[in-house]
């Protein structure tokens, strides 16, 4: 069964701290992996997309890495700010198993950055 797991489920850090969110997946045959941000009661904002042939992607203070062989991705947030407080979702598009194009989501990590 293709699954995506995110650890920890919740994280609280003081402002300015660098932090890492973890995502693991059960099948190394993936097309791509996408990190999203979800604010309470709102939709999803795409942060970074990593294709299966890539090792990492960067956007501003965010850096996402991908290690297919170990089935892991990390989202690194530098110099965290209170505005970064949200739930971060990892989603994987697997390359086999009958599904075409749909994403498998983890349950997310709820991040709280304290001023």
Q: Can you tell me whether residue 82 is helix, strand or coil?
A: helix
| 11 forms part of the interface with other proteins (CB under 8 A) | no
Please tell me the distance from the alpha carbon of residue 69 to that of residue 53, in angstroms, as a whole number: 12
| 2 forms part of the interface with other proteins (CB under 8 A) | no
| 108 forms part of the interface with other proteins (CB under 8 A) | yes
Least Å distance, CB 81 to other proteins, is 23
Residues 25 and 1: beta-carbon distance below 8 Å: no
Spell out, one character per residue from 54 to 93, where the chain touches other proteins: x when CB under 8 A holds, - when not: -----------------------------------x-x-x
- Helices then strands (H, E): number in the chain? 0, 11
């Amino acid at each position: 069964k293709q699954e995506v797991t995110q650890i920890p489920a919740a994280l609280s850090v003081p402002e300015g701290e660098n932090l890492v969110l973890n995502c693991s997946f059960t099948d190394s045959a993936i097309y791509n992996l996408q990190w999203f941000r979800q604010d309470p009661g709102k939709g999803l904002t795409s942060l970074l997309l990593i294709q299966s042939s890539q090792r990492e992607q960067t956007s501003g203070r965010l850096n996402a890495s991908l290690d297919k062989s170990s089935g892991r991705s990390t989202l690194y947030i530098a110099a965290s700010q209170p505005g970064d407080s949200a739930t971060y979702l990892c989603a994987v598009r697997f390359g086999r198993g009958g599904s075409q194009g749909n994403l498998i989501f983890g349950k997310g990590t709820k991040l709280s950055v304290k001023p």
